[in-house]
Amino acid sequence: MTSTSHRAPRTNLRRWLGFSVLVLTVLLVVIDGTVLAMAIPFITRDLAATSTQMLWIGDIYSFVLGGLLVSMGTLGDRIGRKKLLLIGAGLFGLASALAAYAPTAEMLIVARALLGVAGATLMPSTLSLIRALFPDPDQRRTAIGIWTAATAGGGALGPLVGGVLLEHFWWGSVFLINVPVIALILPVGVLLLPEAKNPDPGPWDLPSVGLSMVGIIGLVYAVKEIAADGFHPAAALAAAVGAVALWLFVRRQKRLLRPLIDIDLFRNKAFSGVVGANLLSVLGSAGLIYFLSQYFQLVQGYNPLKAGLAGLPTTAGVIVVSLLAGALVARTSSRAVLTTGLVLMGAALAPLVLLSPQTGYPLVGACLLLSGIGLSMTMTTANDIVLSSVRKEEVGAAASISETGYELGMALGIATLGSVVMGVYQRFQVPAGTPAELSAMAHDSLAGAARAAGELPPSQGHELVTAAREAFTSGLASAAGVGALLLLAAAAMAWSLLKDLEPAPSDTPVDH
């Protein structure tokens, strides 16, 4: 047996061990995006957070992450994706400790923003390093399936992790758990991950970085404000600033000899279709899942652990089908699998328009399972298309753009569908004779209604909580209808834009 044949198994094992670091990293980032949902009632109580503060605590992570993904993805192409991942992991651990011990709602918002900065360095690095680890298309497709299971399944596992921790510890434990995991990732990543970057990327254009951040965050903030409070001057100003910044960004990229992002990537219909479908698919489902955790706890009366277990069907659907999506693509086509996944997600949300406080868990569980199946089909296929539709030197930028669509979809989903939920909820009638301050507390959030009921006579308190639960569930049902329509629109977009799926361009050498 030759020395080469001896080295091949060792090289293959090293690749998969290095890949395990990427999986663990992405699990941390996505779990951190959803674990918060389980802790909301506890944070609201302990930090006396208002509904607006709670929305910002939930939104700011995805807003900052989405605003920085493009810039950080291109920075990784320049300084090295491994180096950027390790720097980001260290920052993620520090920000997690700060969040865990935040004494006020305002400090928690700041800590969540720092977590978003760190997460922006990690997400595109994990996806783009898959191509560096696995040049073989079959191995890469398998790795992407596992990565997708970690991404989508991790989001569903967040409530379960939160439930287990909150059964035994305080709310800060949902953040503090990140620290020992980061302590493992850093040394193992140094040893096992390869370095990968563009060998001739040009300078990192700081004006382009600033314009992309201002543009994305400005537009997302405007959508959030319009969804929550209607069209008003501050929202109009944010939208105008964001739109102008993005226009200037695109104009600058066309003029630069070495642009931050090659705008011609969007001329590839497969790439554009996948990014758009990713955004709409997450927008249509993320906000609803975020509020389902509150539904389980505050309407159905589940304890945190039981509420976390209630989300397991989504995780099961994601993990099983993500590993089979590559085979489905081989037997049919990327277009068919991606579109079918989006249709299944829309079909999963449709029955939830009938949701009520009396709805049994089997219906909700079946919807969550179907949603997980659809999500895994969509994300696995979409990420494979993204990585295979661009050249090696563009993979960091392409991965960051794709992840930007995903994260913006999550932020917009929480903001827009969350605003639908709260818009319906806040119209409920409090019992006659309820003091004004308790009425305001009840209309602020469902958790606030539970606190207000505790200060009223038993019969009046019961009437208040019952009305609040009915209103919250009605809002959730309305949001499910909106989400279903968005997912079906995403399916139509994917089917149209992926009609003539382009083959992967030939690779050019890149430093590893």
As a whole number of angstroms, the distance between CA 154 and CA 35 comes to 10
Cα 182–Cα 183–Cα 186 angle in degrees, nearest 5:
75
Helix (H, G, I), strand (E, B) or coil at 197: strand
Tokens representing 140 are 């890469």
Beta partners for residue 197, in sequence order? 511
Q: Within a 10 A sphere around the Cβ of 435, how many other Cβ atoms?
A: 12
pTM of the model: 0.70
- Rounded alpha-carbon distances, angstroms, from residue 506 to 136, 301, 423, 509: 13, 56, 51, 10
Helix (H, G, I), strand (E, B) or coil at 204: coil
pLDDT given for residue 347 in this prediction: 92
- In angstroms, the first-to-last Cα distance of the chain is 28
Smallest CA-to-CA distance from 78 within 23, 134, 125 is with 125
Q: What percent helix, strand, coil does the chain show, rounded to 5?
A: 80, 0, 20
Domain 12-204+260-497 has CATH 1.20.1250.20: yes
Q: Where are the domains of the chain?
A: 12-204+260-497
pLDDT given for residue 510 in this prediction: 40
Ramachandran class of 171: left when φ > 0, alpha when ψ lies in -120 to 50, beta otherwise: alpha
8 Å CB contact between 350 and 94: no
DSSP one-letter string for 371-440: HHHHHHHHHHHHHHHHHHSS-GGGHHHHHHHHHHHHHHHHHHHHHHHHHHHHHHHTTPPPPTT--HHHHH
Give every CB contact of residue 39 below 8 A, 6+ residues apart in sequence: 162, 166, 171, 174
Q: Render each residue's pLDDT in the chain as its tens digit; 512 residues.
A: 444 444 556 667 777 888 888 888 888 777 776 677 777 778 887 787 777 777 778 778 777 877 787 777 777 777 777 888 888 888 988 999 998 898 888 898 899 889 888 888 887 777 778 877 777 767 777 787 787 777 766 766 777 777 777 778 888 888 888 888 888 888 887 887 777 666 666 677 788 888 888 888 887 777 667 655 667 788 889 889 989 998 998 888 888 877 777 777 777 777 777 777 777 777 777 666 667 877 888 888 887 778 777 877 877 787 777 767 667 776 777 788 888 989 998 999 899 999 988 888 899 999 988 888 888 788 777 777 776 666 666 666 666 677 667 766 766 777 777 778 878 888 888 888 888 888 888 887 787 888 888 888 888 888 888 888 898 899 889 888 988 888 888 888 888 877 765 444 444 434 43
pLDDT given for residue 70 in this prediction: 73
Longest dimension (CA), the chain: 88
8 Å CB contact between 199 and 511: yes
pLDDT given for residue 482 in this prediction: 87
Give every CB contact of residue 440 below 8 A, 6+ residues apart in sequence: none
As a whole number of angstroms, the distance between CA 375 and CA 289 comes to 13
- Strand (E) or helix (H) holding 158: helix 137-168
- Give the chain's radius of gyration (CA, Å): 23
